[in-house]
Structure 1
């Protein structure tokens, strides 16, 4: 997508990761958790869940640092060049760019609401198209712009969110409300943990798209720990308190009420914008890998695909594909299991033993597919009324894929470390 300048500091990577979590979905997740568990338990669940995300990120990110390649390129060893480009990249592309279109529509509706507050009437679909195109154009500038946007958006969003937090305690008697709060339903720790991990599993798998610009493995460790855990736990805590204090799970509408419609609306748009440039950037890398598009045409490809996704979202078509993208997103985490088994367990983290596999690595695809069934099937069943609804567990999917690939390679001798071949 751009020249590979390996001069990214760990704090720049951390702010990109932090920016992905300081968002409306994180606040909503806090409200979801606290609806079925106490506030202290929700915070503990968030801490454990994001600690697991950090472990996945470190595994994935270090591989991209070692090879100076995005996630889909590093995956060519365990899935093969064809398997990575035609299967894994396609799923990543549909998920990332599909969510991009839907989020652009959400931002467009927010802009429409702000304008309406000032007696300006503009159709939501027009706002969605304009916002979506702006997001695509900014994503074309690559990692440098994503970092700059995060440095602007994250502090602004934290100020607005903390103001809302203060307002809740100053004007909504939040302290007494929270102290007297009892969940209306019951969510087990395991289910809460699964929900937390699943909410950011896609980001953990594709973190290599951004970590590839770092120079040291330690940069990924520091960026993941300090960029993910504090932001994730704080946002879930604030989301939980706001949900309790204002007695509503509609966090988006609360933004419009914070300060003035413009101040709150800008926070909502920025929250969507900084997440969406990540979706567009990673989606563009995946699409380019699917069709083997030369480097010089990749920015144009990102623009074309992003515009198409925005147009489809604006007219409402993508809403019908949301369940499909939910299933695809649930199938992505086991990719990390297969890659981790090869890179860390079989080759012991020796970067020199990485090499792409020609064609299709059927062992890798098979291991991923079995793991993906653990995530995809429960998600499908959850859409069908009056049937058994097992909990989709991305952690189990990752572990299953890792075990199958590791032991499968032992039996098939498909991956023998280079030093053992000598």
Structure 2
């Protein structure tokens, strides 16, 4: 991989063995993605829709699905050292991966970058006005923090590592402190509050998964830096599961106790606003930097930009998301961004079927397909339709997986074909 000024330059070039990182460092990056305001919001939504224990258990099961799917897709990235969008060149063909998958990924990631950055900017503006007496225009605040978060993504995985090594321990301490102070301030009486159940248990599982759907399917963007399949599983399990469940549980508890799921707002309410704002900024930063990083990879592929222009493309992607968020456009299309989850999830199912079943889970059986791999494209489209009709996003993973295997029996995927010949396992 080309490097310059210690900044990761290339996007889609496979990561060499000498550039792989320890599973512990990647676990910190995975953990950083999980700690964000939407993760606490997930707990709040579950707490308002069902009793405490069903809320916690259903949300935890959602994270179990996340970890399993991330591990399976993540091992593919580790095997080949490739980003998620590059891996799709087999399942969807180079044009399908470029014009369908990469665009869906990029739009989703840029949109959520802008929305989360807007939340961070608004909190910073309010804090500066109320506690420092300095009026910072919201647009200025959004652009300021958008650029700061973007710089981490521009420098690449090494910068993300350093950020998360510092931020995750701090956030754990702050979350523990905030919970203690919330209990001290409000007591535990809210835990006994009666709740009319308005969401099914399976609905809770789906909600938990949906908050992390895109990060799950694009797992290879991070795990391509892992040294082995074993390391991949360890980084996902120890990075995603603990922090995901902790933020989920805190969202539930804080909603019940303080009637506010946001740990940063709770800290402000109990009298330590500096820690509250720092917690919000850091939790947004660790998640949003990864959004911009992955979006840069996808845009390089979608627009056919030279591979070594990853940094420049990442800057443009982040700035677009920041500006759209600052002017309020993204607030009107949150529903559309959520809808994209129905399109994202079947991508993962089709990719898994192609690599692990058709390709027998062997890196040497993977190869890019020219044009569109219509077997993969058709299976993805049917999987997306089924998921949307049932309004269960993660159903798209299973549907895409099963449909691909059925369709592939009648219309053998081009991913079995190399140099104009069927692979040996197909011929036999």
**What's the TM-score once normalised by structure 1's chain length?**
0.92
Structure 2 Cα separation of the partners of residues 232 and 340 of structure 1: 24
Q: Which residue of 2 aligns with 1:146?
A: 160
User: What is the aligned partner in structure 2 of residue 47 from structure 1?
Assistant: 60
Correspondence 1:19-418 to 2 at 5 A: 19-116=32-129, 117-174=131-188, 176-178=189-191, 180-249=192-261, 253-375=265-387, 377=388, 392-414=391-413, 415-416=415-416, 418=423
| Counterpart Cα distance in 2 of 1:287 and 1:129 | 21
- Which blocks of at least 5 consecutive residues in structure 1 are unaligned? 379-389
Q: CA deviation at 1:295?
A: 2.3
Where does residue 385 of structure 1 map in the other structure? none
- 2:43 aligned counterpart, secondary structure: helix
Shift of 1:334: 0.8
- Distance in 1 (alpha carbons) for counterparts of 2:142 and 2:267: 18
Distance 2:259 2:139 in 1: 30
Deviation at 1:398, TM superposition (A): 1.0
Change (3 A) 1:47 1:308: closer
SS of 2:211's equivalent? helix
Q: What secondary structure does 1:235 align onto?
A: helix
Counterpart CA distance in 2 for 1:212 and 1:59 is 12
> Quick check: 399-408 or 223-232, which moved more?
223-232
Q: CA RMSD in A?
A: 1.7
Larger CA deviation: 280-289 vs 365-374: 365-374
Provide the C-alpha distance between the structure 1 equivalents of 2:260 and 2:233, rounded to a whole number of angstroms. 37
Tell me by how many angstroms 1:268 deviates. Answer: 0.4
1:287-332 superposed Cα distances (whole Å, 9 cap, x missing partner): 0001111122221111122112211211112222322222113320
1:2 and 2:28 aligned: no
Count the aligned residue pairs. Answer: 407
Q: 1:322-368, CA deviations, whole angstroms, 9 ceiling, x for partnerless residues?
A: 22222113320111100011111222211110001110011111111
Deviations 1:19-77 (A, max 9, x none): 11122211111111121222222222122111111111011101111111101101110
In structure 2, what is the Cα distance between the partners aligned to 1:354 and 1:194? 31
**Per the alignment, do residues 39 and 298 of structure 1 end up closer, same or farther by CA in structure 2, a change over 3 Å counting?**
same
